[in-house]
Chains A and B, each alone.
Chain A
C-alpha cells in the first residue's frame, strides 16, 4: 500500500510515543516496581511496533519487538529491573529516535541495529538462568547498592583490572571511639584502592551512627585475601568477611541520589500520566498555516487602523461605531490566533529529566531536577529556539555549579544537589529560571580569567562592581571552568546563550552567591509576531522601538547635557548616561532635534547599561506586526525588521541594543 500520505501522521505519533517512552523509562528507573508505569511503556512500545510494521519500517519494528519481549518478561515478574536493563532500554530508545530521524530523511536502511538487538535479547535468553540466580544474587548483594554512575565507574574499573570487593568489617564490642576507628580504617584502606560506597555512609560512620559492623565497597588491584588480612591486623577489628563482586552482579540504589531525581516534584510521573490521559480532541495544523493566519490577522489589524483613521476624518457616527466594533472583533481574533500558536513549555522541559540524569551519570554527581510551571505557554517559534540556550545553562549548572558529592558533604550541603527549572508568566513576558544550589560563581576566578583572556584591563576591573564582574561571563571567549569538558565549556559558552536569547527579543541575567548557588533568569516575549512599540519621529521618517527595550522616556533640557570625553551625557536617576542622537546612529538627514531646547529622549536598557537616544518627537505607543526585511536586508545591525503602519507607511523596527 502507498504509505507516503500517512508518513506525517506516523512521524508525529512516533515522536509522541518516543517522548512518552522517555518519560516513563525515567519514572520506572525511580520506581521499578510500579506496574502502571511498566504498562505504559509496554503500550507505547507495542503501538510503535504495530505502526512501524504497518508502514514497512522493519528495523524500527524489530527493535520495538525486542523491547516488547523484554518488557513482557518484566510484566510477568520473570525479570527484575536493574541498572543494566534500564540502560539497555534507554539505548534502544535512543536508537529508535535515530531510526525515526532516519525514516524522516529516507535512510532508515543504513542504520545499524544489531548491537542493540543483541543487548535486548541477552535479557530474554538469560532470563531463565537469571531467575535461578536471583535469590542467591539478592542475598549476596543485600546490603550494598550502587548508583548508576557508580556502576559505570565499577565497570570501567573492571577493564582496568580493578576488582570490586565487599568487605564486611566487624569491630570489637569493647572498642571505644568507634567513629574515629572506622574513619581510620577507611583512610588506611584508601591506600589500597578506591572506596566507592560504604554502608552506613562515611558521614554516619564518622558520627558513630552504627552498631559495630560496616561494609565497604572498594575497587582495588590487590587480591581479596590481602585486603582481609590487612584489615584484620588493624586495631579494634574483630573479624572481616569479604567477597569479590562482578560488575554485572550489582544492585541499583533505588532510593536516594540519582534515583531520587524527581520524587519530590515527580514531573516524569505527572507528565507521563498526563500524556496518556491528554486525549481531548485536537487537530494537527502545519505551523506554516498558523504563520499565514497570523500574517492575515496582521493585515487585518493594519487595515483596521487605516479604516479607523478614515472614519475619524469622516465624522460619521454610525461608521465610527461600526469601526469600533470591528476593532474589538479584530483584537479578539488576534488574541485567539496568538493562542493557537501557544504551546506549554512542558514540550521543552520534558526533555530535561533525561538530560539531567545523563549528565549526573557522566559527572558522577548527584543531582535532583525540580520542575515547576511547565504548563506556562509560549509562542511555538520561541519554544523551538529556547531549547539550545536552556540545555547550555543546565549543562553549566551541573558541570560548573553542582559540586561532586564528597565536596557537598564536606561543605555540609545536602545531597543530592538541586537544579530548579521554573517558568511563569509576568505581564507580557514569560520568565524561565534555572536555579542551582551549587558552588556559585567565584568572582575572583572570573576576574582572573577575564584578565587572562584580555577581555578587560586591570583598570576596567577596578571600576567594576560585583554584578558587572559577574556579567563578564556573557562576553565572547569566556569560560570559567578550569578544564574544558565535554559537557560545557570550550569557551563558546554563555555569550552564545546571550545572543540566542537576544535574537528572541529576550534578556538573560545571572545572579550568584559563592557557596550558595547560581540563578539564571531568562525573560522572553510571549510571542514574536506582534510586539508593543513606541513610534518615534525623526526627520521625515518614523521608527518603532520595541517597548521591552525601553527603560523610560524622558525630557532633557539642552542645558542639562554635558560633554564628557567628546560624548554627550546627562544625569539619569543619579547616574551619567551617554546620549546618542538617533540620526547619527542611523544616518538620517533632516532630523530636527539638533536645535531643540527641550529634547525627547528614549532611555534604552541593555542589561547593565543605559543609553539615551535623542529623537525628534515621541509619536505614540502601538502594537505592530513584525515583518522580516528578507535575506537582503535581514542582517543589518540595529534593525530588527519592519512594520506597516495604519496609513500604509513602513516603519523600521529598531533594535538599539546593538549600539552598546
Chain B
C-alpha cells in the first residue's frame, strides 16, 4: 500500500522551468529544454522574417532562430533587461530559442495540480497552452511548445477549419 502510494507520488510529479514574460509566470517541460543562454552576443535580425521571430543567434556554430513569445502571444513588450534570457528548446528536430524576460526557477510540481487551460489565460490563446498549474499562491501557465513554436499558418489553418 505504502509502496504503491510512494510510487504514485513519483509518477505524479513533473519538472518545469518557470520563466517570466512581463510579470506573468510561464512554464515549460524541462525535458524539452536544451539550455539557457544570456543575450550577450546580440541577435542578428532577419529581414522579412515573421514578426515574432526576433532574429538568429550563433550557438557554438549552430544558427538558432529566436522567437519573441511576447510578440507571439500579443502581449505588451517591455524593453529587454539584464534578466532577459534565451531558453533554447528542442521542438521536433529543430532547436529554437525563446526570448523571455527572466528565468525564475526549476520547479517540481504534482501532475494533479495541472488543469486544462481556460480559453484565454493571461491574454494567451489556449491553443498555445498545455495546461495551467495551480499551486498554493501561484498560477503557472504551461506552454505547448510544438504549437507555440510552429509556423503561424498552422494555427490559422486550424481556425479556418473550425469556422
Binding site for B on A (CB under 8 A): 295, 298-299, 302, 541, 586-588, 627-633, 636-639, 642, 644, 648-652
Contacts and interface: CB of A to CB of B under 8 A. Distances in A.
B94 A644 contact: no
Contacts of B65: 629-630, 632-633
B48 A302 contact: no
Given A636-B49, A652-B46, 13 more contacts: A298-B61, A302-B61, A587-B47, A588-B45, A588-B47, A628-B63, A630-B64, A648-B41, A649-B58, A650-B44, A650-B57, A650-B58, A652-B44
A650 B56 contact: yes
Contacts of B58: 644, 648-650
A30 B96 CA distance: 58
Interface residues of B, number: 19
A587 B46 CA distance: 10
Contacts of A652: 44, 46-47
A630 B45 CA distance: 15
A636 B45 contact: no
A356 B46 CA distance: 46
Majority SS of interface residues in chain A?
Answer: mixed
A628 B41 CA distance: 20
Contacts of B53: 632-633
By Cβ-Cβ distance, the 9 closest A-B pairs, closest first, are A586-B47, A650-B44, A632-B65, A299-B61, A627-B63, A636-B48, A587-B47, A642-B63, A644-B58
A124 to B, nearest CB: 52
Contacts of A302: 61
A638 B56 contact: no
Contacts, number: 64
B56 A629 contact: yes
B74 interface: no
B22 interface: no
B151 interface: yes
A146 B63 CA distance: 62
A627 B95 CA distance: 14
A266 B58 CA distance: 52
A639 B48 contact: yes
A633 B53 CA distance: 9
Contacts of B64: 630
Given A642-B56, A648-B41, A650-B56, A633 B61 contact: no
Contacts of B63: 627-630, 642, 644, 650
Contact of B48 (A298, A638, A650): A638
A628 B56 CA distance: 11
Nearest to A582: B47
A629 B45 CA distance: 12
A649 B47 contact: no
A629 B46 contact: yes
B49 A633 contact: yes
Interface in B32-51: 41, 44-49
